[in-house]
């Protein structure tokens, strides 16, 4: 390969004072296989069907500090409705990016931001 190379994102984490509630929220919303036990850390295996060669990201100006997950969904409207029914909040209705994907945004029950990307 020669020389140095860009390091990829290889892991992410969601922290919560009520992890059982968030496990249930994400399990139902995204069909994630999350352990049912009360272990201090609940492992979530990688999904399939995402963009190749893997996740990319960006840094942008914002009035808040933090990290946002971007999760690909098959049906944006259905995912927004389901997130709200599960206790999340719709923060941004679908937005078509010029020459890009359609995005929408939710906050999980703890208020963590999640951007939904139309598959």
The domain that holds 42 is classified in CATH as 3.10.180.10
Instruction: Provide the whole-model pTM.
Output: 0.83
The Cα–Cα gap between 87 and 109 comes to 5
Q: How high is the pLDDT of residue 84?
A: 98
Q: How high is the pLDDT of residue 64?
A: 81
**Residue 59 or residue 17, greater confidence:** 17
Per residue in 81-117, pLDDT (tens digit) is 999 999 999 999 999 999 889 999 999 999 999 999 9
Residue 3 lies in a domain: no
Residue 7 lies in a domain: no
- Structural domain of 74: 19-55+63-118
Q: Which residue has the tokens 């500090």?
A: 65
Residue 40 lies in a domain: yes
Q: To 5 degrees, how large is the angle CA 56–CA 61–CA 65?
A: 85
Question: Is the model's pLDDT at 1 over the cut of 90?
Answer: no
Structural domain total, the chain = 1
Residue 10 lies in a domain: no
Residue 33 lies in a domain: yes
Question: Is the model's pLDDT at 7 over the cut of 80?
Answer: no
Residue 111 lies in a domain: yes
For residues 60 and 107, the answer to whether their CB atoms sit within 8 Å is no
Per residue in 34-64, pLDDT (tens digit) is 877 777 888 888 777 776 766 777 777 878 8
Residue of 19, 101, 3, 110 lying closest to 66 (CA atoms): 110
The Cα–Cα gap between 68 and 57 comes to 10
Residue 112 lies in a domain: yes
């Amino acid at each position: 390969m020669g020389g140095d190379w860009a390091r990829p994102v290889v892991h992410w984490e969601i922290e919560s004072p009520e992890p059982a509630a968030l496990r249930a929220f994400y399990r139902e919303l995204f069909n994630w296989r999350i352990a049912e036990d009360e272990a201090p850390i609940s492992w979530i295996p990688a999904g399939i069907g995402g963009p190749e060669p893997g996740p990319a990201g960006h840094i942008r100006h914002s009035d808040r500090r933090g990290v946002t997950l971007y999760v690909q969904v098959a049906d944006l409207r259905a995912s927004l409705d389901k997130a709200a029914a599960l206790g999340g909040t719709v923060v941004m209705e679908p937005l078509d990016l010029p020459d890009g994907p359609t995005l929408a945004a939710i906050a999980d029950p703890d208020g963590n931001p999640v951007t939904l990307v139309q598959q």
